[in-house]
């Protein structure tokens, strides 16, 4: 095989972005797109000059399709992944892997039985500041990480024109999975596996959703490092940034992107430094993650963000929800 033929399921904002970027890869071809909305599928298909279908299951039987990109709502991921795996298709699945850990286990069993490639769409690993922070920690110049703090806060989640599935924990995974899958994955990317979780939070503003709109999630890593994720869609003043303190110095990133983004660095025995985000040159992140997926298929290598990573994020978020429900109890993973 010297070219991966791809079909994309889900033609919403993320699906459209994935299909567009996949179509720009040198060693991949988008063959078809699918969506329950024929109008939405046709609009994307016309844009990319590919075929549009409404029934995604017809794509799984076709010999001219090697891989499936799944960009449907999270509650649909388990069924679609299991069906695609049974059909022998390689799978790229948007985050979160599923709303519940038990569903992840079923997906893992199906993928491993089929022996196909699987990648989860934790795209922040390919974003400039996220990647640079991880590389700076991995380099060891600042010592071993002791503390990681990340905040991703905003508001108005329930005030827009959101579909009902997004307001339901069982369908979307809630904010900690549908949104903060990125931040939890980033924290694991920097500090390693999580061994225990505790959290406090509640539903204070967004009464239309059945999951917390504020969560303070405390993580204990197997490395000995500790961390806190501040998740909120109940804040009038948003923000997205954090810091990593290490045994020999600190790495501060007040915002991951936009105005003021960049990385501030200082060793205990050195002067402060700064890396401007504009000086960090990376490939378009969505294209980069899809390129990694395609390369893994063509070279028969592991995908960079696989089954274990997908389940781990759902496991941490599920533990956080359970901890909140139990008044901040410590949940061991």
Asked whether residue 187 falls in the same domain as residue 327, the answer is yes
- pLDDT for 255 equals 95
Contact 71, 14 (CB under 8 A): yes
Q: d(Cα 302, Cα 107) in Å, to the nearest integer?
A: 17
Count helices and strands in the chain by DSSP H and E runs: 10, 15
pLDDT per position as a tens digit, 201-249: 999 998 889 999 999 999 999 999 999 999 999 999 999 999 999 999 9
Domain residues for 227? 127-279+314-332
Instruction: List 251's β-bridge partners, or say none.
Output: 244, 265
**Contacts for 330 with CB less than 8 Å, ≥ 6 apart:** 196, 197, 198, 323
Instruction: List 244's β-bridge partners, or say none.
Output: 148, 251
CATH number of 182's domain: 3.30.360.10
Asked whether residue 294 falls in the same domain as residue 263, the answer is no
Asked whether residue 51 falls in the same domain as residue 18, the answer is yes
Per-chain mean pLDDT for the chain = 96
CATH number of 40's domain: 3.40.50.720
Asked whether residue 210 falls in the same domain as residue 327, the answer is yes
pLDDT per position as a tens digit, 268-326: 999 999 999 999 999 999 999 999 999 999 999 999 999 999 999 999 999 999 999 99
Asked whether residue 182 falls in the same domain as residue 266, the answer is yes
Residue 272: closest CA among 306, 247, 304, 249: 249
**Contacts for 126 with CB less than 8 Å, ≥ 6 apart:** 282, 283, 285, 286, 288, 289, 292
Contact 135, 275 (CB under 8 A): no
Instruction: Specify the 3-state DSSP secondary structure of 144.
Output: coil
Asked whether residue 102 falls in the same domain as residue 235, the answer is no
Alpha helices in the chain (DSSP H): 13-22, 38-48, 77-86, 101-114, 128-139, 169-172, 174-178, 181-191, 285-299, 307-325
Instruction: Specify the 3-state DSSP secondary structure of 54.
Output: coil
Asked whether residue 274 falls in the same domain as residue 144, the answer is yes
- pLDDT for 251 equals 98
DSSP per position, 73-131: -GGGHHHHHHHHHHTT-EEEEESSS-SSHHHHHHHHHHHHHHT--EEEE-GGGGSHHHH
pLDDT per position as a tens digit, 2-47: 999 999 999 999 999 999 999 999 999 999 999 999 999 999 999 9
Please state the domain count of the chain.
Answer: 2
pLDDT per position as a tens digit, 145-203: 999 999 999 986 556 667 888 889 999 999 999 999 999 999 999 999 999 999 999 99
Q: Model-level pTM? A: 0.96
Q: At what angle do helices 181-191 and 307-325 cross, to 10 degrees?
A: 110
Contact 30, 8 (CB under 8 A): yes
Asked whether residue 64 falls in the same domain as residue 145, the answer is no
Asked whether residue 74 falls in the same domain as residue 181, the answer is no
Q: How far apart are the first and last CA of the chain?
A: 40
Asked whether residue 96 falls in the same domain as residue 189, the answer is no
Q: d(Cα 284, Cα 166) in Å, to the nearest integer?
A: 27
pLDDT per position as a tens digit, 114-147: 999 999 999 999 999 999 999 999 999 999 999 9
Asked whether residue 12 falls in the same domain as residue 108, the answer is yes
Asked whether residue 81 falls in the same domain as residue 21, the answer is yes
- pLDDT for 159 equals 60
Contact 117, 4 (CB under 8 A): no
Contact 176, 320 (CB under 8 A): yes
């Amino acid at each position: 095989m010297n070219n991966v033929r791809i079909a994309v399921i889900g033609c919403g904002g993320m699906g459209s972005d994935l299909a567009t970027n996949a179509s720009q890869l040198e060693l991949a071809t988008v063959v078809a797109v699918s969506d329950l909305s024929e109008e939405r599928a046709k609009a994307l298909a016309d844009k990319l000059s590919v075929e549009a279908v409404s029934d995604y299951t017809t794509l799984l039987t076709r010999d001219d399709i090697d891989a499936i990109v799944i960009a449907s709502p999270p509650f649909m991921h388990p069924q679609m992944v299991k069906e695609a795996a049974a059909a022998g298709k390689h799978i790229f699945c948007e985050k979160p892997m599923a709303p519940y850990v038990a569903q992840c286990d079923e997906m893992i069993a199906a993928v491993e039985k089929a022996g196909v490639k699987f990648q989860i769409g934790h795209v922040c690993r390919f974003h400039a500041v996220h990647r640079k922070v991880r590389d700076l920690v991995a380099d060891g110049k600042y010592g071993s990480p002791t503390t990681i703090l990340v905040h991703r806060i905003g508001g108005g989640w329930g005030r827009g024109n959101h579909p009902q599935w997004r307001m339901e924990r069982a369908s979307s995974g809630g904010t900690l999975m549908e949104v903060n899958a990125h931040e939890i994955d980033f924290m694991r990317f920097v500090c390693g596996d999580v061994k225990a979780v505790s959290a406090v939070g509640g539903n204070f503003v967004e009464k239309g959703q059945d999951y917390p709109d504020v969560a303070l999630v405390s993580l204990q890593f197997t490395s000995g490092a500790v961390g806190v994720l501040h998740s909120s869609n109940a804040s009038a003043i948003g923000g997205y940034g954090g810091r990593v303190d290490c045994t020999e110095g600190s790495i501060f990133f007040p915002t991951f992107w936009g105005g003021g983004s960049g990385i501030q660095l200082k060793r205990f025995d050195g002067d402060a430094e700064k890396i401007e985000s504009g000086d960090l040159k990376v490939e378009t992140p969505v294209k980069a993650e899809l390129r990694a997926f395609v390369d893994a298929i063509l070279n028969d290598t592991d995908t960079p963000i696989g089954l274990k990573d997908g389940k781990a994020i759902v496991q941490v978020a599920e533990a956080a929800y359970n901890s909140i429900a139990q008044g901040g109890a410590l949940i061991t993973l």
